[in-house]
Structure 1
Amino acid sequence: MLMRSTSTLLAALLAASLFSGCNKEKAPAAGATATTPTPTAASGEPSPDTVVATYGDGQKITFGDLNDRIKDQLSNLDKQKQQLRKQGLEGLVVERLVQAEAKKRNLTEEQLIKAEVDDKIPQPPEAELKKMYEEAKERLPPGTTYEQVKPQIVDFLSGSKKQERAREFFAELKKNANVQLTLPEPPRERKTVAATGAAKGPENAPITIVEFSDFQCPYCSRANESVEQVLKAYPNQVRLVFRHFPLDFHQQAPKASEAALCAQDQGKFWEMHDKLFANQKALEVPALKGYAKELSLDTGKFDKCLDSGEKGSIVQADLAEGKKVGVNGTPAFFINGILLSGAQPFDEFKSVIDAELQAKK
Structure 2
Amino acid sequence: MLKTLKTSLVVLAGAAMLLSACKKDGEGANAGTTPNAGAAAASENPNQPVAKYNDTTITLKDVDAKIAAQLRQLDKQKFELRSQTAEQMVLEALVKAEAAKAGKTDEEWVKAQLDDKLPKPTDEEINKVFEENKARMPPGATVESMREQIIGFLQKDKGREVAMALFNDLKTKANYKMLYEAPEEPRVQVAAIGPSRGPADAKVTIVEFSDFECPFCGRGEEAVTQVMEKYAGKVRVVFRHFPLSFHANAPKAAEASMCADEQGKFWEMHKVLFANRTALTVEDLKKHAGSIGLDQAKFDSCLDTGAKKSLVDADTKAGGEVGVTGTPAFFINGKLLSGAQPFSEFEKIIDAELKKGG
Asked if these proteins are the same fold (TM beyond 0.5), I'd say yes
2:304 matched residue in structure 1: 307
Alignment of 1:212-251 (within 5 A): 212-251=209-248
Cα offset for 1:338?
A: 0.5
1:189 matched residue in structure 2: 186
Bigger mean CA deviation after superposition, 47-56 or 157-166: 47-56
* 1:23-71 C-alpha deviation (Å, 9 max, x unpaired): 22443599xxxx989845xx5x5x4455566777x98666556655655
The one-letter code of the counterpart of 2:117 is: D
Alignment of 1:318-357 (within 5 A): 318-357=315-354
Q: Is the 8 A contact 1:212 1:243 kept in 2?
A: yes
Give the paired residue count: 341
Q: Is the 8 A contact 1:124 1:157 kept in 2?
A: no
Secondary structure at the aligned position of 1:83 is classed as helix
Calculate the TM-score normalised by the size of structure 1.
Answer: 0.77
Alignment of 1:24-43 (within 5 A): 24-28=24-28, 39=41, 43=43
Q: Does 1:122 align with 2:120?
A: yes
Alignment of 1:48-59 (within 5 A): 48=46
**Following the alignment from structure 1 to structure 2, what is the Cα–Cα distance between the partners of residues 239 and 334?**
11
**Following the alignment from structure 1 to structure 2, what is the Cα–Cα distance between the partners of residues 236 and 95?**
44
Q: Is the 8 A contact 2:251 2:312 kept in 1?
A: yes
| 1:91 paired residue among 88, 109, 134 | 88
The 1:181–1:305 alpha-carbon spacing in structure 2 relative to 1, beyond 3 Å, is same
Q: Does 1:155 align with 2:152?
A: yes
* 1:122-148 C-alpha deviation (Å, 9 max, x unpaired): 23449959x97x965989xxxxxx7xx
Bigger mean CA deviation after superposition, 98-107 or 173-182: 98-107
The 1:137–1:229 alpha-carbon spacing in structure 2 relative to 1, beyond 3 Å, is same
* 1:159-187 C-alpha deviation (Å, 9 max, x unpaired): 22333343444445555655443322222
The 1:13–1:227 alpha-carbon spacing in structure 2 relative to 1, beyond 3 Å, is farther
**Following the alignment from structure 2 to structure 1, what is the Cα–Cα distance between the partners of residues 273 and 161?**
23
The one-letter code of the counterpart of 1:6 is: L
Q: Is the 8 A contact 2:330 2:337 kept in 1?
A: yes
**Following the alignment from structure 2 to structure 1, what is the Cα–Cα distance between the partners of residues 201 and 63?**
44
The 1:138–1:272 alpha-carbon spacing in structure 2 relative to 1, beyond 3 Å, is closer
**Following the alignment from structure 2 to structure 1, what is the Cα–Cα distance between the partners of residues 97 and 326?**
38
Q: Does 1:166 align with 2:159?
A: no
1:7 matched residue in structure 2: 6
Q: Does 1:254 align with 2:227?
A: no
* Structure 2 residue ranges without an equivalent (≥5): 31-36
Specify which structure has the bigger relative contact order, considering alpha-carbon pairs within 8 angstroms and separated by 6 or more residues: 1
**Following the alignment from structure 2 to structure 1, what is the Cα–Cα distance between the partners of residues 103 and 39?**
51
Q: Is the 8 A contact 1:212 1:245 kept in 2?
A: yes
* 1:205-229 C-alpha deviation (Å, 9 max, x unpaired): 3211110001112221222222223
**Following the alignment from structure 2 to structure 1, what is the Cα–Cα distance between the partners of residues 334 and 63?**
28
**Following the alignment from structure 1 to structure 2, what is the Cα–Cα distance between the partners of residues 137 and 98?**
45
**Following the alignment from structure 2 to structure 1, what is the Cα–Cα distance between the partners of residues 269 and 294?**
10
Cα offset for 1:291?
A: 1.2
The 1:246–1:180 alpha-carbon spacing in structure 2 relative to 1, beyond 3 Å, is same
2:269 matched residue in structure 1: 272
The 1:59–1:201 alpha-carbon spacing in structure 2 relative to 1, beyond 3 Å, is closer
**Following the alignment from structure 1 to structure 2, what is the Cα–Cα distance between the partners of residues 249 and 127?**
29
Alignment of 1:58-137 (within 5 A): 67=64, 71-99=68-96, 110-112=108-110, 114-116=112-114, 119-125=117-123, 136=138
**Following the alignment from structure 1 to structure 2, what is the Cα–Cα distance between the partners of residues 301 and 235?**
33
**Following the alignment from structure 1 to structure 2, what is the Cα–Cα distance between the partners of residues 92 and 273?**
42
Q: Is the 8 A contact 2:286 2:300 kept in 1?
A: yes
Q: Is the 8 A contact 1:305 1:311 kept in 2?
A: yes
**Following the alignment from structure 1 to structure 2, what is the Cα–Cα distance between the partners of residues 126 and 330?**
30
Secondary structure at the aligned position of 2:23 is classed as coil
Cα offset for 1:244?
A: 0.8
Identity of aligned residues (%): 46
**Following the alignment from structure 2 to structure 1, what is the Cα–Cα distance between the partners of residues 252 and 96?**
50
Q: Does 1:286 align with 2:286?
A: no
Secondary structure at the aligned position of 1:250 is classed as coil
Q: Is the 8 A contact 1:214 1:244 kept in 2?
A: yes
**Following the alignment from structure 1 to structure 2, what is the Cα–Cα distance between the partners of residues 118 and 298?**
54
The 1:150–1:321 alpha-carbon spacing in structure 2 relative to 1, beyond 3 Å, is closer
**Following the alignment from structure 1 to structure 2, what is the Cα–Cα distance between the partners of residues 212 and 358?**
25
| 1:211 paired residue among 190, 208, 212 | 208
- Provide the aligned C-alpha RMSD in A: 4.0
**Following the alignment from structure 1 to structure 2, what is the Cα–Cα distance between the partners of residues 210 and 223?**
13
1:317 matched residue in structure 2: 314
The one-letter code of the counterpart of 1:260 is: S
Cα offset for 1:239?
A: 1.9
Bigger mean CA deviation after superposition, 285-294 or 298-307: 298-307
The one-letter code of the counterpart of 1:8 is: T
1:142 matched residue in structure 2: none
* Structure 1 residue ranges without an equivalent (≥5): 140-145
